[in-house]
Amino acid sequence: MGDNKKWTRRAAVGSLASGGGLLLFGTGGSTQISAYRDVEVNAGGDDAVLQFSDNSSDTTIGLNSSVSVYQITDNAEAFDSNDINVTASIDGTEEPIDASIIGDGNPFDVKVECSDETSRLVGKRTIKLEFTAVSKTENFIISASRDTSSVEFDCYDYGATNNYRDRDKGNANLPNDPVGTISQPENVNRGVDDYAKISSGSSVKSKVGYALPPVSFNGPYELLVEVGNRGGNWSAYLAAPRDGESNKLTSTQGNNAMLGKNGTTIIEFDTSADIKKYKDELYIIFEATDSSNQSIQIDYFELRAQSQ
């Protein structure tokens, strides 16, 4: 069998059924496929029963989006999309992302998307894909592993329960003494027409928080907060879980950390060392500084490098 030979479904299945197997040549070497037993398929060329093509280069996987990272060509026409199972993990770890096989015919798309377990995932990662394909006739099973190119992730979900905390709900670590509630916590950072509202009963000072994405840039840092309507006086500061110490990493610094009304406030920090030290577990805390008619609409916030 030469390198350019294509297997029809009849030839492939017929050879397997007779016990002859398929000897495949192509990119990545050769392998033997035999009937009624699992095999590992490493060949990636045109002669492969299942041909895997990486199309993940320059791909961005965002929140609530399903993106194709691989395509599978069934050269033997021996599989339906529901005959192929795929699981995906990040950088070879156990952290999963959602993966599925889409398509009614050749080629099949291998699509991935953010999952609940990746609600804080940002930045570049590789994806490890594990495939198991059972032929329509159930005469043979193919197993294969593939790694994608480096893929950009933007899965951060402020509405995920692990990423915020108020008095009634949310499982974020901070604040450890929450007061008040966040209405529609998922609405922050979505756009100018969406906001989360923080409030509590009269004569009560609210104190709620959001987890921040990991910091991948150097300081000095500043915090940008866009606010809609506001009642009472409010501050914003950074915190991190620290045993035996105050959680606060940045002071309110007088009026510098006080949030304005119907506009943007930029708070500059001179505590770069602490922010870098806790770059993977930072929280933004919104706290009312008085109890008079206090509520606030939070449109957007971002920790960033200070503008020059």
pLDDT at residue 85, as a whole number? 93
Dist CA 208 CA 177 (whole Å):
8
pLDDT at residue 25, as a whole number? 31
pLDDT at residue 41, as a whole number? 47
174-to-85, 89, 301 alpha-carbon distances in Å: 39, 28, 17
pLDDT at residue 181, as a whole number? 94
Dist CA 64 CA 158 (whole Å):
13
Dist CA 161 CA 251 (whole Å):
27
For the chain, give every domain's residue range: 9-154, 161-305
Give the full edge-to-edge strand order of the sheet including 122-125.
Answer: 60-62, 151-154, 122-125
Give the full edge-to-edge strand order of the sheet including 84-90.
Answer: 38-40, 141-147, 127-134, 84-90, 96-102, 108-113, 67-74, 50-54
The DSSP code for 232 is: S
Hey, what are 70's tokens? 């691989």
pLDDT at residue 30, as a whole number? 31
Helix (H, G, I), strand (E, B) or coil at 255: helix
Dist CA 117 CA 121 (whole Å):
9
The DSSP code for 306 is: P
Report the amino acid identity of residue 77.
E
pLDDT tens for the 308 residues of the chain, in order: 334 344 444 444 444 444 444 433 333 323 334 444 444 444 455 667 888 899 999 999 988 889 999 999 988 888 888 999 999 998 766 667 899 999 877 899 999 998 877 888 888 889 999 999 888 887 778 888 899 999 999 888 999 898 999 999 999 999 999 999 999 999 998 766 789 999 987 678 899 999 999 888 888 899 999 999 988 889 999 999 876 666 788 765 445 568 888 889 998 887 778 888 888 889 999 999 887 768 999 999 999 998 75
Q: What are residue 128's phi and psi, to 5 degrees?
A: -100, 125
Looking at domain 9-154, does it have CATH number 2.60.40?
yes
pLDDT at residue 216, as a whole number? 84
The structural architecture, per CATH, of the domain 161-305 is Sandwich (2.60)
